[in-house]
Chain A
Amino acid sequence: MDINIILAGVGGQGILSISAVIGVAAMEHGLDVKQSEVHGMSQRGGAVVSHLRISDQPIFSSLISMGEADMILSVEPMELLRYKPYLKKDGFLISNTKTVVNIPNYPEEQVLFAAIEKYPNRVLLDAETLAKKAGNVRAANMVMLGAAADHLALEPSYLEEAIKHIFERKGERIVQLNLDAFNAGREAANQYLATV
């Protein structure tokens, strides 16, 4: 079993908390995991990406090769398309629909979404709104993780355990908030797939 995931977003959106949960879940269940991150200059509002690899065999490279990603999970829609060359032919795209427009030449939303909707294997959702409903916009990351949960070849319950483990220090309420956001994302993704 091998899963390669590209996580994308804009510096400051905190994509690393998504990969931390997946990484811990995989490790706790005896799998090998490697994850590359971006620290430094790009974190100031630039494009950021994290490569996450999970396998039941030893993994060597922490970077994914072109055409080898099973999934691109993006918290920003234009960033989703930036890494399209990494996706396998039948790979899966999951994206937040909320744009971050911090450049003057950001594409028109209509054109952007038309380009994304060309790919059949996709889930699009408004993570901020779902997170707000769950209790806090800042849990938007966990909504995105939830949306991916049924497509990671990891039991979603493993991810829930990892969320508990990672947020434990911050108290019961924060754990519950993140679990709620996770489940909201999961539900929304399944609904999306049922209607597309």
Chain B
Amino acid sequence: MKQFLLGNEAIAQGALDAGLSGVYAYPGTPSTEITEYIQRSKTAIERNVHRKWSANEKTAYEEALGMVYAGKRAMVCMKHVGLNVAADPFMNSAVSGVNGGLLVVVADDPSMHSSQNEQDSRFFGKFAMIPILEPSNQQEAYDMTRYGFELSEKFKIPVMLRTTTRLSHARAIVELQEKISENQLNPPPTSCSDFVLLPSNARGRYEHLLKLQEKLREQSDQSPFNEYVEGSDHSLGIIACGIACNYLEENVRKFNLKYPYLKIREYPAPKHQIARIFEECEQILMLEEGYPMLEELIIGYFRKVKVIGRLSGEVPRTGELNPFLVARSLRIELPESETTPELVENRPPRLCVGCGHADLFNELNVLTDHILGRRIFSDIGCYTLGALPPFRAIDTCIDMGASITMAKGASDAGVHPAIAVIGDSTFTHSGITGLLDAVYENSNITVIISDNSTTAMTGGQHSIATGKIADICRGIGVEEAHLKVIIPLKKNLDENIAIIQKEIDHKGVSVVIAQRPCIQI
């Protein structure tokens, strides 16, 4: 059967068809549609595949690990920066190993379409010493979920499936395979110490992981996803990874190129195939969607052959690739492209008309505009758009949860007022522990939770503590007298300003919950 699927949907369908028992995730562009597809899938509902959102990527990862501990197949999905949050279980599960197949799907965002950075998750995969699969098209994305589960169960370690925005968010025709059934429940025997990473056990497990590396390299040299394509013109050889293979193929066909090339879609990188292209060619062009990871490794290794790519400037150092950039790096003469007519203006994203965050920012601006050097620490979500005109109401956005903790640190340093603005989903993702730090020291900060009862920025996923935010604050010790709920509406402007002002003046922790549902839900 054929379907017209997004890369993310191909991963989801592939996992379902390969006997998935649970998907665990926190939303994040460009990974979100994987889990959403499974949430909508009839098959998943009938089979009762786990498919609810988790509080953050770390809890998602550990929940998936628990499922594979019990012998079933699980998938955990996140955007690239999500893996920073899940890094602890990720690194350690490579040491403990897994009992059922664990696929870690990480969607990178080169060019930062919707992200704070463009970190390349392949480094994390290499760091953990696990296999990485990097599909170059949607069919491979589908096929690799099954292959990834098989690899994971064969070597008993997690396997990373790395995608990038243009694969995750492009549709293509995908041919589905036969469905296989889910694994039976099969937790390890109680005498198994693999999952007890006390130093004495962990040392043995780490030795085991190191010994496995040679086997993973052999696997990769024979992988159906690593392919050497012969060519008659040996003046140049090309090594392309993941989606870059596609842009290369496009140019090979269009310009009838005769260079040998190596397509890499499984890591650790295939040693013998790389050695071969270096033997056969006078110069090597590296095409990687992301950081020059292999380029850095290879450049010093085969000194006699010149390597060109992102480090030498033939390929731009930053940003995603496209067929045009790849053609240029292949020294293909292209006609000068036109420029966009001058009258076209930038159209950045903005808060919707009628958004509650907007009223909150208006209140904050009235309140604090007169304060010289005023700083408002904020966070990640739709409300980050408050940094742009016409609001210019917030001054920081680093990572999820950093508003509260940075405000606390700044307050420790003597900054007053130290105001944090955070969304409800971000608060439950990573804000609660920071607030607990502030409560513990009774720091002089004012935390404003802009609660729109959804995870708006990523498309309105259920925010898992809707209706419980005030109770959570109470529960971790915020004083009742300094826990306020306001409704950010124009008609309440004066009243709200008075409330926030009073809490700013209070010497200690205050929390103001600005509550108004997102207009999109």
Q: Please state if B113 and A41 are interface contacts (CB–CB under 8 Å).
A: yes
Contacts of A39 in B (CB 8 A): 29-30, 32-33, 114, 169, 459
| CB < 8 Å neighbour of B2 from A27, A34, A79 | A27
Q: Is A35 an interface residue (CB 8 A)?
A: yes
Evaluate whether A115 and B338 lie within 8 angstroms (CB atoms) in the complex, with A11-B349, A44-B352 already known: no
Interface secondary structure of B, over-half rule: loop
Q: Shortest beta-carbon distance, B14 to chain A, in Å? A: 18
Contacts of A24 in B (CB 8 A): 4
0/1 interface trace, chain B 331-374, chain A, CB 8 Å (1 if under): 00011011111011111111110000000000000000000000
Contacts of B324 in A (CB 8 A): 65-66
Q: Please state if B322 and A63 are interface contacts (CB–CB under 8 Å).
A: yes
Q: Is A138 an interface residue (CB 8 A)?
A: no
Cα distance, A83 to B341, chains bound together (Å): 9
| In the complex, residue of chain B having the shortest beta-carbon distance to the beta carbon of A35 | B171
Q: Please state if A63 and B4 are interface contacts (CB–CB under 8 Å).
A: no
0/1 interface trace, chain A 50-65, chain B, CB 8 Å (1 if under): 0000000001111101
| In the complex, residue of chain A having the shortest beta-carbon distance to the beta carbon of B322 | A63
Contacts of A19 in B (CB 8 A): 171
Q: Is B45 an interface residue (CB 8 A)?
A: no
Cα distance, A81 to B343, chains bound together (Å): 9
Cα distance, A35 to B352, chains bound together (Å): 27
0/1 interface trace, chain A 164-191, chain B, CB 8 Å (1 if under): 0000000000000000000000000000
Cα distance, A83 to B322, chains bound together (Å): 16
Q: Shortest beta-carbon distance, B423 to chain A, in Å? A: 14
Number of B positions contacting A (CB below 8 A): 47
Contacts of B398 in A (CB 8 A): none
| CB < 8 Å neighbour of B349 from A20, A42, A111 | A42
Among B89-97, B245-253, B411-419, B500-508, the stretch that binds chain A is B245-253
Q: Please state if A43 and B170 are interface contacts (CB–CB under 8 Å).
A: no
Q: Shortest beta-carbon distance, B2 to chain A, in Å? A: 7
| In the complex, residue of chain B having the shortest beta-carbon distance to the beta carbon of A107 | B343
Evaluate whether A10 and B340 lie within 8 angstroms (CB atoms) in the complex, with A27-B2, A39-B32, A41-B113 already known: no
Evaluate whether A37 and B349 lie within 8 angstroms (CB atoms) in the complex, with A27-B173, A60-B247 already known: no
Evaluate whether A65 and B349 lie within 8 angstroms (CB atoms) in the complex, with A33-B4, A34-B172, A37-B169 already known: no
Q: Shortest beta-carbon distance, A114 to chain B, in Å? A: 9
Q: Please state if B347 and A46 are interface contacts (CB–CB under 8 Å).
A: yes
Contacts of A106 in B (CB 8 A): 345
Q: Shortest beta-carbon distance, A23 to chain B, in Å? A: 5
Q: Is A85 an interface residue (CB 8 A)?
A: yes
Q: Is A112 an interface residue (CB 8 A)?
A: yes
Residues of A at the B interface (CB closer than 8 Å) are 10-11, 19-20, 23-24, 27, 32-47, 59-63, 65-67, 78-79, 81-85, 102-103, 105-107, 111-112, 115
14 intermolecular pairs with C-beta atoms under 8 Å apart: A35-B170, A38-B113, A41-B29, A43-B349, A44-B351, A44-B352, A60-B250, A60-B253, A61-B246, A62-B172, A65-B322, A65-B324, A67-B338, A107-B344
